[in-house]
Chain A
Amino acid sequence: MSFSETFRDSALRSSRVLQRFASLLRPQSGPALEMMAAEAEQLTRQNFGRTMRLFAPLYLSNECVNICKYCGFSRDNPILRVTLAVDQVEAEARHLHAQGFRNILLVAGEHPKFVSGDYLARCIERLRTFVPAISLEVGPMETAEYEPTVRAGAEGLVVYQETYDRAVYAELHTAGPKKDFDWRLDCPERAYAAGFRRLGIGALFGLAPWEEEAMSLAAHVDYLLRHCWKASVTVSLPRLRPAAGQFQPRHDFSDRALVQVILALRLCFPQVGIVLSTRETAELRDRLVRLGVTMMSAGSHTEPGGYTGAGSESVHQTQKGKAIPVIASEGEHLLATEQFSIADERSPSVMAARLRELGLEPVWKDWDAALAAH
């Protein structure tokens, strides 16, 4: 039974681990939260050691056919868009490699014309000669469409459900293939069937009440651990950030609530990775590294070409699938628009030094391409 079917039947969501998760989400006193934190810290060190895995996102394209009210890339936003050529993707990846990254997440908006499976496979094949670990965060595909990207050398797939609330989802996703809630919900299973070894899921907090999102996310983790038993599962808890379109969060998700969800995830799923992006501030990130987080990005850019300026000569607007040229005024250097603005702007080397100060070894390479050679 797929997760979308399981998810419809609340009786199937009452496993013991989920009952415990629910109890940990209830309001906790300060001392109770502190006890959860101590146990979470101990479990994280036991399972992941005194280490922190580092990765970087590399945006390939900000073209998108979907309308998502909260997203900067939404097709109705008149932003500057570009899809990097494979050579430009390589230039961006070489920049990240020189900074130390050996684990790169390729990100793109959903646009079959600009971001085809074939294009992704060519990007991966180019990068795999010098990047040991490559993951994808792109529009959901069929299992058979994923297979060439796995053969090309991708080993991880990330897809966030955004919100697990069907009504809110329908209201916020008004056009494009992303409208189909179940299609997206079952994406990690299709990716697993195609041979991906690392599956990343998450919810975009701020769209629906956080307690409900967290419960659904935990149910999804529980399902994936049972059904996709060979995959490493990671969870991400992104909070809405300022972006084109000026969408405002509808529900509060405080630092305290974020911490409580991270701790509850760690206590219920000790071996599941927890990912923390540069959406959060440096001050908060330095605190969260001790509370269950196992993987971080650093120095991120959320626009294609953001690291090196690659592709700036091809920046345009897109209307009805057609590129409309944008004329730069003299001396002006156009860059594609970012998906959202980041909050922690520390460079990778500064972040690594800070992790060492906090008693953690930054781990850049945790995977070898030889493992997934096809």
Chain B
Amino acid sequence: MTGLTIAGRTFGSRLLVGTGKFASNQAMAECLEASGTEIVTVALRRADLSGQDDPYADILNFIDPKKYLLLPNTSGAMNAAEAVRLARLAAAAGLPKWVKLEIHPDPRYLLPDPIETLAAAEILVKEGFVVMPYINADPVLAKRLQDVGTATVMPLGSPIGSNRGLETRGQLEIIIEQATVPVIIDAGLGAPSHAAAALELGADGVLINTALAAARDPARMARAFRDAVEAGRTAWEVGLGAPSRTANPTSPLTGFLS
């Protein structure tokens, strides 16, 4: 499996992991280890940004910055101004100048706001952030974001935490076909087979959170996703055969003629 390069930095794993919903920070740390991930995203609203090392908001202490790229996310922001402010605060607090840009005004389905996301991406790219925007599977929006200079696009497979898999498959195929930056499928992947399918489709990576955090054994589930991502990517690199309506015998009847 080849590595994943984002903004000039190459990662050995194509599995990105989120840190919400875990039963304990210890369980989360074990899950990260088992997943083989090298990019871990954290909601800034759960972290202490004051620099005072708050023991009641200490999630960052459980993510080793030597092992993982800590990717701050702006979950909770409802518009561009709030997301930009959060990203700047994180950078000021000494976190990497990378940001997973999430703007979802609707707390029920957590679907991203395309207008605010584009506006925030433009500002943050100009300020030198590596911007990884979470978007609906909208190919035109994906292109607009690439035009302003985002490092990736992160379209959803289905709503966050829904475990419904690649419901947006047709649109994802277009985004992947047109992409000039890595495409990371960000949300809704509930089973290792969903992750494998995303990589087989040509996605450059996947981000998984709920499927691990809500699992009975997050570390073992992480191992399953890790294997699935590697299998899916390897299959894509080798090249899958095209589907056909009829059977194609493995020993062709007319093979003797050639």
User: A47 near B: Cβ within 8 Å?
Assistant: yes
In the complex, the answer to whether B77 meets A371 with C-beta atoms within 8 Å is yes
Which residues does chain B contribute within 8 Å of A45, judged by CB atoms?
21, 214
Which residues does chain B contribute within 8 Å of A101, judged by CB atoms?
56
B194 to chain A, nearest CB (A): 15
Q: Mark A89-121, 1 if CB is under 8 A from B, else 0.
A: 000000000001110000000000000000000
In the complex, the answer to whether B76 meets A51 with C-beta atoms within 8 Å is no
Q: Mark A261-275, 1 if CB is under 8 A from B, else 0.
A: 000000000010000
In the complex, the answer to whether B57 meets A371 with C-beta atoms within 8 Å is no
User: B125 near A: Cβ within 8 Å?
Assistant: no
Which 4 interchain pairs have the tightest Cβ spacing? A49-B21, A50-B23, A365-B57, A364-B56
A70 to chain B, nearest CB (A): 32
Which residues does chain B contribute within 8 Å of A271, judged by CB atoms?
107-109
**Complex partner residue of B213 from A49, A364, A367, CB under 8 angstroms:** A49
User: A141 near B: Cβ within 8 Å?
Assistant: no
In the complex, the answer to whether A367 meets B45 with C-beta atoms within 8 Å is yes
A300 to chain B, nearest CB (A): 17
Q: Mostly helix, strand, loop or mixed at chain A's interface?
A: loop
Complex Cα distance A143/B47, Å?
Answer: 32
**Complex partner residue of A361 from B22, B105, B108, CB under 8 angstroms:** B22
User: B91 near A: Cβ within 8 Å?
Assistant: no
Which residues does chain A contribute within 8 Å of B54, judged by CB atoms?
102, 365
In the complex, the answer to whether A368 meets B45 with C-beta atoms within 8 Å is yes
**Category for how many chain A residues contact B:** 20 to 34
Interface residues in B172-194 by Cβ distance below 8 A to A read none
Residue of A nearest to B24 (CB): A361
Which residues does chain A contribute within 8 Å of B96, judged by CB atoms?
none
In the complex, the answer to whether A359 meets B23 with C-beta atoms within 8 Å is yes
In the complex, the answer to whether B106 meets A230 with C-beta atoms within 8 Å is yes
**Complex partner residue of B76 from A47, A48, A50, A371, CB under 8 angstroms:** A371
**Complex partner residue of A360 from B23, B48, B210, CB under 8 angstroms:** B23
User: B78 near A: Cβ within 8 Å?
Assistant: yes
In the complex, the answer to whether B21 meets A50 with C-beta atoms within 8 Å is yes
Complex Cα distance A231/B105, Å?
Answer: 8
Complex Cα distance A232/B214, Å?
Answer: 21
User: B163 near A: Cβ within 8 Å?
Assistant: yes
Which residues does chain A contribute within 8 Å of B56, judged by CB atoms?
100-102, 364-365
A76 to chain B, nearest CB (A): 40
In the complex, the answer to whether A229 meets B106 with C-beta atoms within 8 Å is yes
Complex Cα distance A360/B106, Å?
Answer: 26
Complex Cα distance A15/B242, Å?
Answer: 46
Contact segment of B7-15, B33-41, B82-90, B148-156 = B82-90
Which residues does chain B contribute within 8 Å of A100, judged by CB atoms?
55-56
In the complex, the answer to whether B45 meets A361 with C-beta atoms within 8 Å is no
Given contacts A197-B78, A230-B106, A371-B82, contact A47 B45 (CB under 8 A): no
Which residues does chain B contribute within 8 Å of A225, judged by CB atoms?
108
Interface residues in B57-105 by Cβ distance below 8 A to A read 57, 76-78, 82, 85-86, 89, 105
**Complex partner residue of B23 from A132, A232, A361, CB under 8 angstroms:** A361
Which residues does chain B contribute within 8 Å of A102, judged by CB atoms?
54, 56-57
**Complex partner residue of A50 from B57, B89, B107, B213, CB under 8 angstroms:** B213
B interface residues with partner A (beta carbon < 8 Å): 20-25, 27, 44-49, 54-57, 76-78, 82, 85-86, 89, 105-109, 161, 163, 210, 213-214
A interface residues with partner B (beta carbon < 8 Å): 45-51, 100-102, 132, 197, 225, 229-232, 271, 356, 359-361, 363-368, 370-373
Complex Cα distance A363/B48, Å?
Answer: 13
Given contacts A361-B24, A370-B49, contact A232 B57 (CB under 8 A): no
In the complex, the answer to whether A371 meets B23 with C-beta atoms within 8 Å is no
In the complex, the answer to whether B86 meets A368 with C-beta atoms within 8 Å is yes
A355 to chain B, nearest CB (A): 10
In the complex, the answer to whether B105 meets A230 with C-beta atoms within 8 Å is yes
In the complex, the answer to whether A370 meets B46 with C-beta atoms within 8 Å is no
B94 to chain A, nearest CB (A): 15
Which residues does chain A contribute within 8 Å of B55, judged by CB atoms?
100
In the complex, the answer to whether B105 meets A368 with C-beta atoms within 8 Å is no
Which residues does chain A contribute within 8 Å of B161, judged by CB atoms?
46-47
B214 to chain A, nearest CB (A): 5
> Besides A50-B214, A365-B56, A368-B49, 10 other CB < 8 A contacts?
A46-B214, A49-B210, A49-B213, A51-B22, A102-B57, A132-B45, A229-B105, A367-B45, A368-B86, A370-B86
Which residues does chain A contribute within 8 Å of B163, judged by CB atoms?
46
Sample of 5 A–B contacts (CB below 8 Å): A51-B21, A225-B108, A232-B107, A360-B23, A364-B57
In the complex, the answer to whether A371 meets B22 with C-beta atoms within 8 Å is no
Complex Cα distance A231/B108, Å?
Answer: 9
Given contacts A46-B163, A46-B210, A371-B86, contact A365 B46 (CB under 8 A): yes
Residue of A nearest to B81 (CB): A373
Residue of A nearest to B107 (CB): A232
In the complex, the answer to whether A356 meets B24 with C-beta atoms within 8 Å is yes
Complex Cα distance A48/B214, Å?
Answer: 9
In the complex, the answer to whether A229 meets B108 with C-beta atoms within 8 Å is yes
**Complex partner residue of A373 from B22, B78, B85, CB under 8 angstroms:** B85
B164 to chain A, nearest CB (A): 11
Given contacts A49-B210, A365-B57, contact A370 B25 (CB under 8 A): no
B189 to chain A, nearest CB (A): 13
Complex Cα distance A366/B44, Å?
Answer: 9
A220 to chain B, nearest CB (A): 16
Residue of B nearest to A50 (CB): B23
Complex Cα distance A361/B57, Å?
Answer: 12
Complex Cα distance A365/B77, Å?
Answer: 15
Complex Cα distance A51/B19, Å?
Answer: 12
Which residues does chain B contribute within 8 Å of A359, judged by CB atoms?
23
B113 to chain A, nearest CB (A): 10
